[in-house]
Structure 1
């Protein structure tokens, strides 16, 4: 094509037909420009296709992570709910000073052991963040076109980083609570666990043990403090669960496009 234009241009110049030469020259320029534009368009299309494919891979990885994270949060919240309920039961018995409750545990001391065991437990969900962390490290967050999804992902990540600042305090409280009843821990030990360790059956006045436990004001003050922390963590993880649901919904919508 270019050779043809050159031959035509040479003939026109030889014949001194300047006006026709200019038309051919302009036509040649237009064709070159059109060729460049087409090449740019093809290149842009290829780049967009590559970006779309990479976004799809990213969204698929995020979807997998958040499905696992959601399950983890749900499972932990079930355990947390039991911790909250059992802690409240213990505090209510302590505050009621009801002799009937003490007498109940006189014959059902295993129940008290379970209440204390679960009521002073600690649970915290560990969401899976591999895909998002890799995305941040690679600086490819902008590949996710949905702005709302990008915002929710950043918010969820922030919740993980700053949402469990009470961890060390909760761990310290668990140690304190354990130490404060260490003198009756063995007497409270569940029969099932005693049998598992080949220990002889309990031989003591269980009514005295339960009264001693429920009259420990310092223990219940710390248990109340822990209950507050547990409730805050439960509420935060409930919020994270809603965020995970929203993120999964947006990811599903994007993948369906």
Structure 2
């Protein structure tokens, strides 16, 4: 092919057809440039195709993490919704002296308050891609920013959960120090929501017979200003957590929808 073009140039020069030679030379240059541009375009398309494959695989992994996140948030919502119900029940009995719940029911409703939920966020795929520098070659920059903010906002959930845990340790447990566990039985943990099997623990406690002669008046603990203050404080914190969880659920669903609707073509 090169010899063919060289022969044409030589013929034009030898025949003194400089005008045609110049036109031909320009045409040849244009042809070479076009060839280079086509080669670059093909190379760029191939690079974009590779980057798009990486991007699609990344978002597939992120969706899997988000599905785990969604299940986790549903558990958190159930846990704290039930907690709010127990606090409401205790406060109702506290403010209505004519109503008697009995020591066993009291034990059942205070027992779940000792437990807290452990905040967990499934961000492995995002953090791995971030650490490897994968984001720089992705086209969905705005979506990456939204994902980044979503994971950053998890710190708020952690802070709210920690606030409840500290409040239980600082306020609730000191109140309950005066309430012996002698009345605990295998039904005590029926209202407890926890990821671990707690029933085995309560059955074990119930199997150890208590032969002490104890008179326990739960009302001395329930109907005190300290308990009322605690219940109201815990209700406020729990309500705040539920609101935070619901907002995160909505944000997560919106992000999942955007990911599924994004352009996946090469």
Q: TM-score range by the shorter chain?
A: 0.7 to 0.9
Number of paired residues? 249
Residues 1:211 and 2:211 are matched in the alignment: no
Residues 1:235 and 2:243 are matched in the alignment: yes
The aligned residue for residue 54 of structure 2 is 54
**Alpha-carbon distance in structure 2 between the residues aligned to 1:4 and 1:21:** 14
Tell me how large the CA RMSD over aligned residues is. 2.4
* Gap regions ≥5 residues in structure 2: 188-200
Q: 1:24 to 1:194 in 2, by over 3 A?
A: closer
**Alpha-carbon distance in structure 1 between the residues aligned to 2:80 and 2:185:** 22
The aligned residue for residue 158 of structure 1 is 152
Superimposed CA distance per residue, residues 54-112 of structure 1 (whole angstroms, 9 cap, x where no aligned partner): 1110110001000000001101211111111101111221122x2332xx30xxx2221
Aligned pairs for 1:70-219 (under 5 A) are 70-96=70-96, 98-101=97-100, 104-105=101-102, 109-141=103-135, 143=137, 145-146=139-140, 149-176=143-170, 177-192=172-187, 196-197=204-205, 198-201=207-210, 203-206=213-216, 209-219=217-227
**Alpha-carbon distance in structure 2 between the residues aligned to 1:194 and 1:43:** 67
- Determine if contact 1:56/1:255 at 8 Å carries over to the other structure: no
Moved more, 229-238 or 118-127: 118-127
Q: 1:56 to 1:191 in 2, by over 3 A?
A: closer
Residue 164 of structure 1 aligns to a residue whose secondary structure is helix
**Alpha-carbon distance in structure 1 between the residues aligned to 2:9 and 2:146:** 62
- Determine if contact 1:83/1:118 at 8 Å carries over to the other structure: yes
Distance apart, 1:144 and its partner CA: 5.0
The aligned residue for residue 190 of structure 2 is none
TM-score, normalising length from structure 1? 0.86
- Determine if contact 2:175/2:221 at 8 Å carries over to the other structure: no
**Alpha-carbon distance in structure 1 between the residues aligned to 2:218 and 2:118:** 30
Distance apart, 1:151 and its partner CA: 4.3
Distance apart, 1:169 and its partner CA: 3.3
* Gap regions ≥5 residues in structure 1: none
**Alpha-carbon distance in structure 2 between the residues aligned to 1:144 and 1:183:** 60
Residue 42 of structure 1 aligns to a residue whose secondary structure is helix
Structure 1 segments, 4+ long, off by >4 Å, are: 191-195
